[in-house]
Structure 1
């Protein structure tokens, strides 16, 4: 389907929204005419109020004349003088695609690249273009792969796809606005009715009567019915507007393969979902590691550390490349499954360009370290930027674990405090274990229905894992408070605990093995705290 037909379809879909709204307004007017012709008194007034309230969101949605403009993602704008190599590459690819180069380049912290345009008159007149390019892509892709990603984005302009965005987006926004207003009014009706019933119930209780159960079933049903009508059309709108979108993605992939090479395009498509998953893991496990200690990674490492993770975990990353998604991200996702896109590209004839531009794309930047640091200032919220910087990743880990352990409150803490009536300390817990009262404390833990019903050994088996986890946390917190705890930082595995002076160098007699064995003894059917006390600082051993 050509650009003209796609534009016509987008226009028809938008007009369909107005037609649906006019039909609903006509139906409401028809109800008013019927009631006013045959009804009288309070009924006509009530129906008139209801129809006006229902018509208001419809009219409001129809006369939303402006489509809200999307905001740029947070990032740093770079000029030709700042990044001449990057700008030269972007202009080269735009020319090869037969379209205009963007007026701005915005470097972001997202695993994404996009070229957006703000056209005027619903896409009839072109507007300023902005390339948003994620630094994680430059870190994880080669220059050839980045060429393919950018050629794909410019390929959408070649096919005229982006000129339709104003029409499509306007329809989506208007439908969503009407649906939202109906749901908001329905929720308001429910809240008001609930408050009324609760007041009436309170008055009954004050008079010594039994309170009535609050029941809001059916309240706001008229509003929700109207919302369902628009939701049904919205689904139709999305299906119809996306029917050609996936074809456009295939066409843009072909344009990328023509400009950047078959192999670079296929490998970029394989790499992007891997980078996305890896980056999410990196942010959760590394970049934000020090938040509970109110500390940030070294300057430039909040984004820069991602490259270290990819290098260290290359075997895992290689495995992910072979596990391509076979399904789209959602039923209305405009992008086809990655696996199908890769198959189509790899089915193309060999073009002899497999060895082109294998250098890391980050080298396109004039001063990567400076850019990574500047990106932190642009992307991170002001509060985070006030946090001190760790000297290194090891220091960041130590500070984070110390902060976490110092504030740790496990279910065992609460159960022990309730049982003894005293603050929950490791010394107090060891005393309770030695007195044979551990399982009485365990009865106060949050328990499943099966554990609550169990007795004797069965009960102990249910609660033992939770007891051991909580006891381990309390022991580690004790060591941490005395500055005896050390955590070993790694890019390839979770952090592991290290306690100086424990055991030998063999795996079976490692500090971790000794600790786990001591914890198991402390929560055994016949608890023994001596192995654990032997590992603790002298101040606790004989309490």
Structure 2
């Protein structure tokens, strides 16, 4: 314990010294620059060099101005009740007791593939309770022992003093980074000095943060073994990109639509092999291929595995689950929805989500507008697609928009895809929604993709005559065969 306190004291002194050094240099430079016009005015008339020095000093002072950030207001997340998950509370409290942590524990279920511990303090700075956040995918992917290593890791940060020092380091890093950003490309070349110092500070503070992660990993391995600790690290690294994409594009989207969908079942469907939507693929790849730099606060997976098991490389252990700690899959999902959601949401299966939620809301969205499928039929798609870059003024959102030309194009395209879906709904098509995959609508043996229809229309490969066949109801004689799926129909002679 004395060694930990000594390390914490050393880290705190080092960060404070670096922080003071940054501002000492900045204030000294401001004073030196102002001294030039001052001496010129005092001894002789002010000349051009004095004016430039004064402008540079005020520019630097503006970049160094204090920045007070308002605390973001967020929905109050209610802790998991003890009677909802007595086994999980017992597990967390036993780990806390083994590390001589006596504070009251409140567990919160979070959506991210991560965990945290946040101390709640009174006005004297004394800890009243510890908020322990545990991610849903941890419960569905880790064994009980592996989850224990994650919890022990977070308690390692607490007993090591990292939670008291960490927020201060973060704010200091943000303050210096903002100053360097404001001085970037300064005409007075002031940014060169501070950019060098800022990078040095970020490099030192990042190394401190990485050492904290190694220490917390070591504590977890000591408590529950290297095998479980290593497996937990590898599994979280494995599932995080997929879960983050699922959270952003599927679960979060369903919540915005007011739908309460089965969370874990949706993730299993999302992970099944198949052709995913382009934006989903891009999100997963961006997360998987994120380049590590010397300024990262966390070590790489390979470095952490090496520290726990010298000579080993990361592997892919089989997934497990410990949902029994929270009463099972359904009870865990119910507890998570109950913990934060204050709006009324409709419980719906993934099989019914496409029809009951997406199709229904799409139809309501365009009803009564100039894009109402009763007024603007699908055969108008080629004309709309030819004007996709000029529809912004008609379809733009309310208020000021800062979207780039490409962002505007994507916004208009998304509206047109929803409109195509509303049109096909009007013609008796049914939306089969598969998490992560392109939206497909079916009618009898015909399968149509709104996105593919739009892309073909933008490329001038669809005619109004071809699209008219889909406007006919199944009971109406068709002017052309409508039994071929869109993948083959788009290559037929029916194209313009």
For normalisation by structure 2, the TM-score amounts to 0.65
Which of these residues, 452, 472, 478, is aligned with residue 536 of structure 1? Answer: 472
Which of these residues, 10, 13, 32, is aligned with residue 5 of structure 1? Answer: 10
Alpha-carbon deviation of 1:333?
1.8
- Does residue 342 (structure 1) correspond to residue 305 (structure 2)? The answer is yes
- Is the partner of 1:76 in helix, strand or coil? coil
> In structure 2, what is the Cα distance between the partners aligned to 1:288 and 1:540?
42
Which of these residues, 300, 322, 334, is aligned with residue 361 of structure 1? Answer: 322
Counting only pairs closer than 5 Å after superposition, residues 355-434 of structure 1 correspond to structure 2 as 360-365=321-326, 369=330, 372-373=333-334, 375-376=336-337, 379-380=340-341, 385-386=343-344, 389=346, 391-398=348-355, 399-401=357-359, 403-404=361-362, 425-426=377-378
Alpha-carbon deviation of 1:237?
1.0
Alpha-carbon deviation of 1:240?
0.8
CA 100–58 in structure 1, closer or farther in 2 if over 3 Å, else same: farther
Alpha-carbon deviation of 1:524?
10
Alpha-carbon deviation of 1:159?
3.8
Can you list the C-alpha shifts for 1:190-216, whole angstroms capped at 9, x where unaligned? xxxxxxxxxxxxxxxxxxxxxxxxxxx
Name the residue aligned to 1:134.
135
Alpha-carbon deviation of 1:479?
3.7
Alpha-carbon deviation of 1:308?
0.9
Checking the alignment, whether the CA contact within 8 Å between 2:85 and 2:326 is kept in structure 1 is yes
Checking the alignment, whether the CA contact within 8 Å between 1:97 and 1:259 is kept in structure 2 is no
Alpha-carbon deviation of 1:157?
3.5
Which of these residues, 8, 31, 34, is aligned with residue 29 of structure 1? Answer: 34
> In structure 2, what is the Cα distance between the partners aligned to 1:77 and 1:257?
28
Alpha-carbon deviation of 1:274?
3.2
- Does residue 110 (structure 1) correspond to residue 54 (structure 2)? The answer is no
Name the residue aligned to 1:268.
232
Can you list the C-alpha shifts for 1:263-318, whole angstroms capped at 9, x where unaligned? 22222112213332222332344324557xx74223xx3xxx3311344466669x
Which of these residues, 220, 236, 254, is aligned with residue 256 of structure 1? Answer: 220
Name the residue aligned to 1:420.
none
Structure 2: segments with no counterpart, 5+ residues: 1-5, 275-280, 282-286, 391-413, 481-496
Name the residue aligned to 1:488.
432
Can you list the C-alpha shifts for 1:377-435, whole angstroms capped at 9, x where unaligned? 5545x6xx25x515432332114145447868xxxx99xxxxxxxx7534568xxxxxx
Alpha-carbon deviation of 1:238?
0.9
Can you list the C-alpha shifts for 1:170-204, whole angstroms capped at 9, x where unaligned? 53244246457x56xx9xxxxxxxxxxxxxxxxxx
Name the residue aligned to 2:203.
239
- Is the partner of 2:131 in helix, strand or coil? strand
Name the residue aligned to 1:279.
243
Alpha-carbon deviation of 1:53?
3.5
- The structure with the largest helix share of the pair is 1
Counting only pairs closer than 5 Å after superposition, residues 183-202 of structure 1 correspond to structure 2 as none
Can you list the C-alpha shifts for 1:31-88, whole angstroms capped at 9, x where unaligned? 2333323443797996797477346447754xx8x99989898522245566432222
Structure 1: segments with no counterpart, 5+ residues: 187-217, 415-422, 430-437, 448-468, 503-509
Checking the alignment, whether the CA contact within 8 Å between 1:105 and 1:133 is kept in structure 2 is yes
Checking the alignment, whether the CA contact within 8 Å between 2:115 and 2:132 is kept in structure 1 is yes
Q: Compare CA radii of gyration and give the structure with the larger one.
A: 1
Name the residue aligned to 2:277.
none
Checking the alignment, whether the CA contact within 8 Å between 2:103 and 2:129 is kept in structure 1 is no
> In structure 2, what is the Cα distance between the partners aligned to 1:530 and 1:404?
23
> In structure 1, what is the Cα distance between the partners aligned to 2:117 and 2:237?
19
Checking the alignment, whether the CA contact within 8 Å between 1:57 and 1:178 is kept in structure 2 is no
Checking the alignment, whether the CA contact within 8 Å between 1:102 and 1:115 is kept in structure 2 is no
Checking the alignment, whether the CA contact within 8 Å between 1:7 and 1:164 is kept in structure 2 is yes
Task: Kindly tell me the number of residue pairs found equivalent between the two proteins.
Answer: 427
CA 170–35 in structure 1, closer or farther in 2 if over 3 Å, else same: farther
> In structure 1, what is the Cα distance between the partners aligned to 2:377 and 2:70?
56
CA 539–245 in structure 1, closer or farther in 2 if over 3 Å, else same: same
CA 533–159 in structure 1, closer or farther in 2 if over 3 Å, else same: closer
Checking the alignment, whether the CA contact within 8 Å between 1:77 and 1:105 is kept in structure 2 is yes
Stretch moving more, 231-240 or 361-370: 361-370
Alpha-carbon deviation of 1:492?
8.3
- Is the partner of 1:360 in helix, strand or coil? coil
> In structure 2, what is the Cα distance between the partners aligned to 1:106 and 1:374?
10
CA 289–35 in structure 1, closer or farther in 2 if over 3 Å, else same: same
Q: CA RMSD in A?
A: 5.4
Checking the alignment, whether the CA contact within 8 Å between 1:295 and 1:389 is kept in structure 2 is no
- Does residue 155 (structure 1) correspond to residue 156 (structure 2)? The answer is yes
> In structure 2, what is the Cα distance between the partners aligned to 1:428 and 1:530?
11
> In structure 1, what is the Cα distance between the partners aligned to 2:301 and 2:11?
24
